[in-house]
């Protein structure tokens, strides 16, 4: 079945530009923000009827606007936000959650976890074939949202562990050149985190997934358990990301966990020293005392 005219895809902000440039010439897609569909708040959670909109008229207006459109959400949101969109759009709505970094999407190496009515999945199959692999999880869009959150929970908990590995190595006097080389060679280094080894040792931690987003996704992942399953490791990871946000690393990559306990404005000199060490291979000089370090 061909892609229906005017097929709309709701994409997260970080991916929109790449898809516009790569695909709009080939398919009749419109890239929109999640909030343009109505019913999704900034934290990725469902928004109920508010005091300003007691009857849910704004959500109904959004649904009417996209009445002739097949709508697909790719943003990382709570399952109840997906349920609200299913109620608004019915069998014209599906979820296609992205597993992979932005560069993986651009290169065609990413995977989309797709859930929704069979008619919607069939209509959109040619779209995914253009730029990504697909994991079909069946008729429930909420399943795709849950699997995305579980994927990010694994990612972010592992980043927290590897960041502490770097911190422990530094505390034991190992220079960054040796640490980075060991991570590259170690079979214990998760394959999905190898694209972050350089960013771990970059004092600017310039990446694509910041600590604020990490707090949001880990919090949503914890809510999946609804108190029915203790998740102490995931809770500890969430608290660590919250701390680096409070320390001023909001816009930096999640690898800023290696800076845990350092205020962003006070970390520059130590980070510059580490960068020089990492680039030249010289023995790392001792840095200033770390404040608020984890036990």
pLDDT at 45: 56
Q: Binning pLDDT at 50, 70 and 90, where does residue 23 land? A: very low
Cβ-contact 180, 280 below 8 angstroms:
no
Mean pLDDT (the chain) is: 76
| pLDDT of residue 292 exceeding 50 | no
Angle at 138 between CA 71 and CA 104, to 5 degrees: 65
pLDDT at 246: 93
Q: How far apart are CA 77 and CA 42, in angstroms?
A: 9
Strands (E), the chain: 7-10, 29-32, 71-73, 93-99, 111-115, 133-136
Angle at 67 between CA 66 and CA 72, to 5 degrees: 50
- Average pLDDT (184-199) is 93
The tens digit of pLDDT for each residue in 152-188 reads: 999 999 999 999 999 999 999 999 999 999 999 999 9
Which SS3 state, helix, strand or coil, does residue 295 take?
A: coil
155: nearest Cα among 101, 232, 223: 101
Question: What's the chain's length in residues?
Answer: 295
Per-residue 3-state assignment (H helix, E strand, C coil) for 102-128: HHHHHHCCCEEEEECCHHHHHHHHHHH
| pLDDT of residue 20 exceeding 50 | no
| Structure token pair of residue 193 | 């985190």
Which is it for strands 7-10 and 29-32: parallel, antiparallel or unpaired?
parallel
Phi, psi of 190, rounded to the nearest 5 degrees: -60, 135
Q: Binning pLDDT at 50, 70 and 90, where does residue 4 land? A: very low
Which SS3 state, helix, strand or coil, does residue 72 take?
A: strand
Which SS3 state, helix, strand or coil, does residue 95 take?
A: strand
pLDDT at 133: 86
41: nearest Cα among 8, 84, 9, 74: 84
* Residue 51 CB coordination number (10 Å): 5
Distance (Å) of CA 254 to CA 17, 128, 169, 210, 227 = 22, 28, 19, 5, 26
Angle at 286 between CA 283 and CA 287, to 5 degrees: 125
Q: How far apart are CA 163 and CA 157, in angstroms?
A: 10
The reported pTM is 0.73
| pLDDT of residue 277 exceeding 50 | no
pLDDT at 100: 86
Domains and CATH numbers, the chain: 7-139 (3.40.50.720), 147-280 (1.10.1040.10)
Which is it for strands 71-73 and 29-32: parallel, antiparallel or unpaired?
unpaired
Cβ-contact 62, 35 below 8 angstroms:
no
Matching residue, tokens 């000199």:
269
Q: How far apart are CA 285 and CA 271, in angstroms?
A: 11
92: nearest Cα among 58, 112, 113, 62: 62
pLDDT at 59: 55
């Amino acid at each position: 079945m061909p892609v229906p005219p005017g097929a709309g895809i709701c994409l997260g902000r970080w991916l929109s530009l790449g898809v516009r440039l790569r695909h709009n010439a080939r398919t009749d897609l419109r890239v929109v923000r999640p909030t343009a569909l109505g019913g999704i708040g900034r934290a990725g959670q469902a928004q109920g009827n508010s005091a300003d909109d007691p009857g849910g008229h704004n959500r109904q207006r959004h649904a009417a606007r996209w009445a002739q459109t097949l709508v697909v959400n790719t943003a990382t949101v709570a399952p109840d936000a997906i349920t609200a969109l299913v109620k608004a759009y019915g069998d014209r709505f599906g979820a296609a959650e992205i597993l992979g970094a932005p560069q993986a999407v651009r290169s065609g190496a990413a995977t989309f976890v797709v859930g929704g009515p069979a008619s919607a999945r069939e209509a959109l199959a040619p779209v995914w074939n253009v730029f990504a692999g697909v994991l079909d999880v069946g008729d429930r869009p909420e399943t795709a949202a849950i699997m995305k959150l579980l994927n990010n929970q694994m990612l972010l908990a592992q980043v927290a562990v590897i960041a502490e590995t770097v911190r422990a190595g530094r505390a034991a006097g190992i220079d960054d050149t040796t640490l980075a080389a060991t991570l590259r060679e170690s079979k214990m280094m998760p394959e999905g985190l190898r694209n972050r080894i350089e960013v771990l040792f970059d004092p600017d931690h310039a990446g694509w997934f910041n600590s604020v987003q990490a707090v949001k996704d880990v919090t949503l992942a914890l809510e999946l358990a609804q108190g029915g399953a203790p998740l102490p490791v995931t809770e500890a990871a969430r608290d660590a990301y919250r701390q680096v946000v409070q320390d001023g690393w909001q816009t930096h990559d999640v690898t800023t966990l290696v800076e845990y306990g350092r205020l962003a404005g006070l970390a520059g000199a130590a980070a510059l020293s580490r960068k020089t060490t990492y680039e030249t291979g010289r023995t790392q000089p001792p840095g200033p005392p770390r404040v608020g370090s984890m036990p």
